[in-house]
Amino acid sequence: MTNLSIAYIDFGDRFDPNGTSGIERKKLSQIFELEKLGIVKRLAFSPKHKKTMFGNLSRLLPFFPSTFFFTCDVKQLEGLDVVYFRKPSYVDRYTINLLKDIKKQNPKCVILFEIPTYPYDKEKAGLIKYPLLVKDRWNRRMLQKYVNRIVLVTSKERTIFNIPTICTMNGIDFENTLLREVSPIEHKNIHAIIIANFEFWHGLDRIIGGLTQYYSAWNEEKPKFTLHIVGDGPGIEKIKQQCKENVIEKYVLLHGSLSFTEISKVYNQVSLAINSIGRHRITGTRIDSSIKSREYAAKGLPIITERGISIDYVPENYPYVLEIPADESLLDIESVIAFHDRIYSGNDPVVIADTIRAFAKDRCSSEAMMRPVLTYVREMLLQ
């Protein structure tokens, strides 16, 4: 333990650490690792008011904040040695002014600026979001005045916006993400899980379409395949309607948002996990460093993911990952079942789960994630 004074700055609503948000648990694990360097205070900037029509429109304008209004007591910025600053949705002049205030108060302070997804311009390129992207492009040029290093978790770029990078990958706290309770495998009754705050790039429609296709030709000789959907988000109501219309409602269990404890109970029912299978729709990167890809492995689950958008800690031809086409085709449930049977037939499911978890823990724990960051800070301030 050292005695550095550290601020962890992030934006957006705080989530219940026991809830479904993998992002919140990631933040808490980052803070835990930073505490190895000193005392960490978290400055979480959340919207002060409910979003209104005026707020939604005004944030598109050049000199209004993109992340809604927040205020910062300058006294909170005094005496800092290190700031770990998670990029808000958009870099605007309020972001730059906050960084400027930090440097003014603490000229020798090391500022680390995390960009969770890079490149991100494609994700912001829609007509409605385009004015925000323009603001981001204009203001991010000024980051180099205040930021010592950019922390990248999904890219290996050595320099971004004329700032050197620290390249790492997402990690999770394995101590608080326990292995699921592994049950005997029922090859005639397979359960899979997908967890997210769902957006169109999660590809839920591909899964539902695949299930509809599978059950349209189902007979008693075929296994039953049940999907557990955990989380909410845009499009969930449409998915519910699709399930009703296609008579697969009893094979698609929509749990909604659950606490961490409740999610663990669902994990205990499944033997497969499905990763985002719509990333090809939005991303400019070919690397998946998602929190969920780590959590699934920590639970000891084989994973379905997209071909060509590789999970960063997984080597090529890893036997516990099935890659499907990165296109608009429906998920082939028959091939998923064949993958499931190849893994579990004649093998102890507990050994399989332990093997998957141990492999992931060695590569993407929160300690491994933050190690390059801590090394850099020690080199800068503690030598």
Do 195 and 128 share a structural domain?
A: no
The pLDDT, as a whole number, for residue 195 is: 95
The pLDDT, as a whole number, for residue 368 is: 87
The pLDDT, as a whole number, for residue 15 is: 55
The pLDDT, as a whole number, for residue 271 is: 98
Do 337 and 200 share a structural domain?
A: yes
The pLDDT, as a whole number, for residue 94 is: 85
Domain count, the chain: 2
pLDDT digits (tens, 9 = 90+) for 145-179: 999 999 998 677 899 999 999 998 888 889 888 99
**Full-model pTM:** 0.75
Do 346 and 246 share a structural domain?
A: yes
Do 206 and 316 share a structural domain?
A: yes
Tell me the residue range of the domain where 28 lies: 4-171+366-381
Do 323 and 199 share a structural domain?
A: yes
Between strands 159-160 and 189-195, the pairing is unpaired
Do 250 and 161 share a structural domain?
A: no
The pLDDT, as a whole number, for residue 127 is: 66
CA distance 274 to 203: 10
Do 160 and 35 share a structural domain?
A: yes
Sequence-ordered list of residues with C-beta below 8 angstroms from that of 376, at least 6 positions apart, any chain: 112, 149, 166
Do 333 and 185 share a structural domain?
A: yes
Do 160 and 285 share a structural domain?
A: no
The pLDDT, as a whole number, for residue 89 is: 82
pLDDT at 54 over 50: no
pLDDT digits (tens, 9 = 90+) for 233-243: 887 888 888 88
pLDDT digits (tens, 9 = 90+) for 237-293: 888 888 888 889 999 999 999 988 899 999 999 999 999 999 888 866 677 878 899
The CATH number of whichever domain residue 71 belongs to comes to: 3.40.50.2000
The pLDDT, as a whole number, for residue 312 is: 85
Sign, CA dihedral 236-238-243-249, equals positive
Q: What percent of the chain has pLDDT over 90?
A: 55
pLDDT digits (tens, 9 = 90+) for 329-378: 999 999 999 999 999 999 999 999 999 999 999 888 888 889 999 999 99
Do 347 and 277 share a structural domain?
A: yes
pLDDT digits (tens, 9 = 90+) for 301-317: 999 999 988 888 898 89
CA distance 19 to 365: 20
Q: What mean pLDDT is predicted for residues 315-326?
A: 94
Do 249 and 110 share a structural domain?
A: no
Do 351 and 329 share a structural domain?
A: yes
